[in-house]
Amino acid sequence: MEYKADDQTFSGDLSLKRQYAIENGNLEEIRDIDITTRDELLQSSLSGSSDNRLTEIVSTIQAEQNEVIRSDLSKPVIVQGVAGSGKTTIALHRLSMFIYSYADKVSPKDIMILAPNRLFIDYISEALPELGVNDIKQTTFFEYVQKCLKKKIKFRTLMISFSRFSIKKITS
């Protein structure tokens, strides 16, 4: 691992990760943690400034999700899971970490989220500011394509419902 400080490059092995909780200038707590440890200080900090929905999300981050959230930001990650498994939570937290970690190189204004629909955008546009992320462009794929082509086009969506074994064609 290497880092630069005062025009010098320092290198070494990272063998310990430590968190400090400081309140009103007083050291309240010190914790030695590893990357897979549930990050109570992060969760406490995030939940302290959020509404009930985000508090519930933050408090239910599992060790596996935390590991994915904190994995190397310079490498792509593919997250798969069933509905409600926390994929969006992971994505929003990784996005927040990315913006925080690379604040000197990337502005939130340079980032765009392509969402599947407006309902999803409504959800994440409330959650992002609670994670300290503002000014990110958000649009659906269809809206983005129309803007790029500079004309309104029709899309045909095929929806399949396995619970009723029916197929519907929707044109938007």
Per-residue pLDDT of 46-64, as tens digits, reads: 445 445 555 555 555 677 7
Q: Is 81 within a domain? A: yes
Residue 44: which of 26, 23, 68 has the closest Cα? 23
Q: Is-contact 38 66, C-beta < 8 A?
A: yes
Rounded Cα gap, residues 34 and 11, in angstroms: 20
Q: What is the pTM of this model?
A: 0.53
Q: Is 93 within a domain? A: yes
What is the domain count for the chain? 1
State which residues form the domain around 133: 48-171
Give the per-residue pLDDT at 112.
92
Give the per-residue pLDDT at 15.
72
Q: Tell me the pairing of strands 137-140 and 2-5.
A: unpaired
Per-residue pLDDT of 28-46, as tens digits, reads: 887 766 544 445 555 555 4
Give the per-residue pLDDT at 35.
44
Can you list the residues of the chain whose pLDDT is less than 70? 14, 32-61, 157-172
CATH code assigned at 144: 3.40.50.300
The DSSP bridge partners found for residue 31 are: 19
Q: Is 28 within a domain? A: no
Residue 15: which of 32, 30, 38, 29 has the closest Cα? 32
